[in-house]
Amino acid sequence: MESIQSIDARQIAPREKHPTIFQMFDNLAAGEHFILVNDHEPRPLYHQFKNEHPGQFTWEYLEQGPEIWRVAIGKPESVVDPTVGEIIAADFRKAAVFKRHGIDFCCGGNKSLSQAGKEAGIDPEVLRSELNSAQWEPGGGTLDRFQTWSISLLIHYIIENHHNWLKTKLPEMTPLVQKISKVHGANHPETVKIAAIFQSVVDDLVPHLQKEEIVLFPYIEKMVAAEKSGEEPPRPVFGSVENPIRGMEADHQVVGELMDSIRELSGNYTVPEDACASYRMVYGFLSELADDLHQHIHLENNILHPKVRALAQKLGV
């Protein structure tokens, strides 16, 4: 007869708690679970599971206080299919694998691993094993550290580093993008299309940054303050914080697709032989813009928004 193991966290020294629990989890076979007993709600443990084993564990409360918490923690029967965004948010080293296969982990972050693999023409099983063995690769980035940042710090960084850069660069570069389309449009008709698409990117991004800075981010800060003070957060005028978050993610998708068209039209930002200095400067800028937006959207879609969704659930807003 199968016996369910249980582990009483109250009996384990604080430093040993999480390692012991994760060791027990590692020893489980698919479909098995164990019961964790604790004297408070094990939220930090839950978040550690979510970060380290996204989509690969089950978590069910059997008793929720006030004195004892009992949680059934298990491994699911079938292989779970986490999204690309969940994988990358838990461990940014995996970015190198996605990059290698041309899988977009920013705007395409909501796709499941199998779907993303299929679309990139790679067997999802092969992709899964490459991801499992992904180690640190030079140039793989250091974004994983953002996962440990607080919500307020992330917002501050996004505004200071990404929004302010865009606010300076977009107006500065717009006349130059238009100029090269006028000067070189006859010989390089793609520059005319690129200028039109670039204008759409600007027209989408300017109000998008404003919506984040004036509506979404200030409300998120109120949620953070409410969590600290223990008071109820104010009811948002937009119903639920999920609504503006979804709106922002839809905008990201549109901008991502526009930037993809620019990359294709420009042959991966390859300047023609007869290009003048302005032409080179514009292509250099467009390439830099694509990289910057990748990082910016990754931070929002894969790091900030999941943190805010978890906080919203906790606060009941």
Q: Closest separation between CB of residue 168 and Fe ion, Å?
A: 15
Furthest-apart CA atoms within the chain: distance in Å: 80
Task: List the x/- string, 244-283, binding to Fe ion by CB under 5 A.
Answer: ----x-----------------------------------
Angle (deg, nearest 10), helices 164-184 and 277-298:
140
User: Which range touches Fe ion (CB under 5 A), out of 6-14, 16-24, 255-263, 297-305?
Assistant: 297-305
Q: How far is the C-alpha of 243 from the C-alpha of 230, rounded, in Å?
A: 24
Number of residues that bind Fe ion (CB under 5 A): 3
Give the integer Cα–Cα distance in Å for 8 and 71: 11
Question: In the bound complex, what is the minimum distance in angstroms from residue 223's beta carbon to Fe ion?
Answer: 17
Residue 251 CB, nearest distance to Fe ion (Å)? 6
Q: 26: how many CB neighbours lie within 10 A of its CB?
A: 9
Neighbour tally for 160: CB within 10 Å: 10
Q: In angstroms, rounded to a whole number, what is the distance separating the alpha carbons of residues 81 and 54?
A: 9
Q: What residues have CB less than 8 Å from 25, skipping those under 6 apart?
A: 34, 49, 53, 57, 73, 75
**Cβ at position 300, least distance to Fe ion in Å:** 5
d(CA 36, CA 250): 39
Closer Cβ to Fe ion, 9 or 248, answer by number = 248
Tokens standing for 174?
Answer: 């717009």
3-state secondary structure of 81: coil
Shortest gap between Cβ of 269 and Fe ion (angstroms)?
Answer: 23
Q: Which two tokens stand for residue 100?
A: 């290698």
The smaller minimum CB distance to Fe ion, of residues 127 and 248, is found at 248
The answer to whether the bond into 233 is cis (omega within 30° of 0) is no
Shortest distance (Å) from residue 296 CB to Fe ion: 6
Among 300, 302, 308, 317, binds Fe ion (CB under 5 A): 300
Task: Find the part of the chain contacting Fe ion (CB under 5 A) among 205-213, 228-236, 256-264, 265-273.
Answer: 205-213
Binding span for Fe ion by CB under 5 A among 168-176, 189-197, 283-291, 299-307? 299-307
Piece of the chain touching Fe ion by CB under 5 A; list 111-119, 120-128, 134-142, 296-304: 296-304
- Looking at beta carbons only, is 108 or 117 nearer to Fe ion? 108
Verify binding: residue 298, Fe ion, rule CB under 5 A.
no
Q: Under a CB-based contact definition with an 8 Å cutoff, are residues 185 and 177 in contact?
A: no
Helix%, strand%, coil% for the chain, nearest 5: 65, 10, 30
CB closer to Fe ion, 84 vs 96? 84
The window from 130-138, 218-226, 282-290, 295-303 that contacts Fe ion (CB under 5 A) reads 295-303
Least separation in angstroms between CB 163 and Fe ion? 6
CB 296 within 8 A of CB 162: yes
Question: Of residues 207-246, which lie at the interface with Fe ion (CB under 5 A)?
Answer: 212
Cβ proximity to Fe ion, 96 vs 248, nearer residue: 248
In angstroms, what is the minimal distance from the CB of 70 to Fe ion?
A: 40
Residues that bind Fe ion (CB under 5 A): 212, 248, 300
